[in-house]
Structure 1
Amino acid sequence: MIERSPKRSFAARPADPENWIKASDAPSPRESADGGYTARLTIDVTADLRGRIKISAFQRGVTVTEMLRDLLAREFPNTEGDPS
């Protein structure tokens, strides 16, 4: 039988967080509507807020993903000449 290390983690912490954040990710197999690639973003919300978001998306006739992408794009517009 093979022994496993007692300390196993899901992912290692980056040695240099600043460079890790700024580094480009490898292309994802998920392609966005504009031809670029998408990145997954996970947030924690209350069950009540999640329900309100789902109801709002249903009433608008869009998916939660589409609605939240539009909301984030409005809140954080792409600025020409932005160094990031």
Structure 2
Amino acid sequence: MAVMTIRNIDDAIKTRLRIRAALHGRSMEDEARAILRAALSTEPVRPRDLGQAIHARFAALGGVDLPEVPREPSREPPGFEA
């Protein structure tokens, strides 16, 4: 197995790691190993583009039928004859 040294860890992070390790009944080193294993054992989630995000958000609502837009002019075009 490889050996890794991590330097310049904030005191707050070290304290949180120590508390988390104690809650799980492990040493800080074992807890750090477990955190790395959990973080790196899953497949990375591919970021979605905006269209995919919108589709996923509203897919459960189902489709919506919109009325057709009329294709004729809504008013008489202006005349420019003098």
TM-score in terms of structure 2 length: 0.43
With normalisation by structure 1, the TM-score equals 0.42
Computing the radius of gyration from Cα coordinates, the structure with the larger value is: 2
Structure with greater helix share of residues: 2
